[in-house]
Chains A and B, each alone.
Chain A
Amino acid sequence: MPGFKAALINELYKIFKRKKLITAAVLSVLAVLIGQAAVTAVQAGFGVRLAGSAEFPLIVLPFFVYTILPMFATFVAIDLFNGEYSAGTMKITLTRPVSRFSVFTAKVTSVALFILGSLMFVMLVSMLAGYIFNPVSAGFMGLVRAAAAYLVSFLPVFVFSLLVILLSNLVRSGVTVFFLSLFIFLGFIMMEFIFSKYASFFVTSQFTWYTLWISQSLNILKLLRQTLLMAGLGIMLFTAGFYLFDRRDL
């Protein structure tokens, strides 16, 4: 993939230049602090412990993957595609001696790195908050569990962002893409509740699949099926997204 590295650095540079990155970081820290305040308040008020130091990151995680993370991943995806189309900068990107596939892959990888980076950032912040505010010692296994949970949460959020990328290449307006993504996101959550038997088909249900990874006895078959489902969906979305990106006139 000639030029991929250059294209990736280029895309990452664009993300870092955006104010959204700082907003996402500030919001994430705020969410962790608000979560910590709630945990402390419940503990003091009701004498009920919501989380020990190792469990606190696991309380933050579902909240984070269902709100801030997919929202900002959507923003970043829209920025990298619709934003560039509307600003007319996509031409500059594509006139570089890099194949369209490399540009697309670099953009997708940038979104992936954004998601992974955000997860790691929130994990570290919440672990820190957990250790400072919840004075219950946690073993090494607690840390490993939390880290595993954050790492595996990458996959479903990334697959969802591939759906947003597909929409970004299908629809011209970034605002429309945002609302469509929101609509699909909420629709999936509703569907997985109504048709709970088919919940695995809606990628939002895998947003909490980290519970499978940290369970005391691993359900290997279920994990395999979930991974294959997400891989299949991911490949389809990536290919369809690339197809549209490749055929798109500037």
Chain B
Amino acid sequence: MKTRGKWSKQSMVLLSFILGASLFVTTALADLAYASGYEQLKQAVKFTFAQMDSGLSNYTMESTFYMRAGDKTVYESTNVLKSDSVNKMSEEYAATTRVDGEVYNSHSYRDEQISAWKSSSDDHYYVTEYGKINDWRHFSDPFQGEEIRDIERIIDALVGNLKDNVLVDMGMDGGKIYSGSLSEAQVPALVNAVVSFLAKQQITSYSYSRETMTRKLAEDVYVKRVSGQAAEDETGLLTKMSGELVLSGLDEQGEPMEMVFGFAFQIKDIGSTAVIKPDLTNAVVEKPHTMHRFNKKHIGTYRNNIVIEQSDQYLKIGERTVEITDVAGSSVKGRYYETIDPKYADLYPKAALDFTFTAEQVDWLTIFEYTNEEGELRHGEIDIYEPGKIFLNLNMRYEDGHIYYEGEDLRDIYFDHQFVRVFE
């Protein structure tokens, strides 16, 4: 009888343990398999960014940011971005309403050739002509980078249990509706304190608030509510997103007041957005420095003294000369040479340099090649300076669109790179 009792106790223990273990393991597996609202929303955000970068042929994105103090709107900005990645065109309308009610508008347009910009303070479009195909890209997916994964992990860990407050519902159109709301009690104390403090500082330093805002939060500031909603369509794209942060507290007179910070995004007209190039008849056009600035007037001889310093005097031991012999199209031709006074030859131990060059425009630099006295290939850069002067750099290396200085050279000593025109 005793043995049987012992056995049944052991089997009870075993059974109970198995029950606990099964409960734990199955729930754990279910928990893993179940993508939380937070995870689903994160995936939707990633997908949307990737689509905006290089998936959608065209779309319109509307975004609004606002800040309200009591029932007065302190700041509001609305942006409408139209993007057409097939024709590589985009335009953006922006309107900002300030606390004094003044509205500031702007319109900008961009394609591969030009970018144009116009604001409400002026009738003209200001156009920059690139002169060659420009890398048109209006949006780049922030999740493409490597380091973003680590940042994502840190954010996930910091969000912790708060991520369970993201709820998902099925939408009417087969998509999903995300929503989440945190009350004062749920906002962690530290987050509440930091946000309240930063917001308070921000409001105080907001330039317009000093003069025009009659009321602002001064004491007892706390995060009263944080809420957000988002809608995902059946393709997985987040078409709407909005959020609000409500700060509560007392104003400078000790009266209770609320401040609301909010945003709203909307992506619409996918596939039916047309970007229209604005009428640029009266535009102010600026061509950026894509061609060298030399012309015929720069042909001539330029000189730079080789001066060394001695304990009791400055001594001119020779001259560096640049002769510009021809300027045509994208190239500048000339000669560089050094003449050293024979009696000071021992003070300038290197062989005097003498070469002719043809400088070509590379990006925004006018660059030429030359061989130095040691037979090494080097690059030089030439540019115009104040009237009657040119600027010359030697002993450089040009690789992959970048210019590198090759360390100290004898010529660097007391060489200010400035050559003055010789008028004779």
Partner-B contacts on A (CB < 8 A): 42-43, 46-52, 54-55, 58-59, 62, 136, 142, 145-146, 149, 192-194, 196-201, 205, 208-209, 211-212, 214-217, 219, 221-222, 225, 228-229, 231-240, 242-243, 246
Contact = CB atoms under 8 A, between A and B. Distances in A.
Nearest to A233: B24
Contacts of B165: 211-212, 215, 217, 219
B222 A50 contact: yes
Nearest to A208: B161
Contact of B196 (A49, A228, A234): A49
Interface string B215-250: 000111110000000000000000000000000010
A193 B17 contact: no
Nearest to B227: A216
Contacts of B28: 200-201, 229
A229 B160 contact: no
A240 B21 CA distance: 11
B183 interface: yes
A25 B25 CA distance: 37
A23 B55 CA distance: 64
B339 to A, nearest CB: 70
Contacts of B193: 42, 46, 48, 50
Interface string B6-44: 000100010011011111110110111010110000000
B164 interface: yes
Contacts, number: 138
Given A49-B249, A201-B28, A219-B167, A235 B20 contact: yes
A interface: dominant SS:
helix
B21 A211 contact: no
A56 to B, nearest CB: 10
Interface string B73-84: 000000000000
B31 A229 contact: yes
A235 B249 CA distance: 47
Q: For the side of the interface on B, what is the size category?
A: 35 or more
Contact of B185 (A46, A54, A196, A239): A54
B21 A55 contact: no
A225 B30 contact: yes
A239 B17 contact: yes
A49 B186 contact: no
A237 B222 CA distance: 42
A142 B185 CA distance: 9
A205 B196 CA distance: 26
A92 B418 CA distance: 101
B255 interface: no
30 contacts: A43-B220, A46-B197, A46-B200, A48-B200, A52-B222, A55-B185, A142-B185, A145-B185, A205-B160, A211-B162, A214-B183, A214-B186, A215-B164, A215-B186, A217-B165, A217-B181, A222-B164, A225-B27, A225-B31, A228-B27, A229-B31, A231-B23, A233-B20, A234-B20, A235-B19, A236-B24, A239-B17, A239-B20, A240-B17, A243-B17
Contacts of B13: 239, 242-243, 246
A205 B16 CA distance: 25
Nearest to B19: A235
A198 B32 contact: yes
B300 to A, nearest CB: 67
A154 B130 CA distance: 68
B307 interface: no
A239 to B, nearest CB: 4
Contact of A200 (B25, B31, B188): B31
Interface in B178-223: 179, 181-186, 188-189, 192-193, 196-197, 200, 218-222
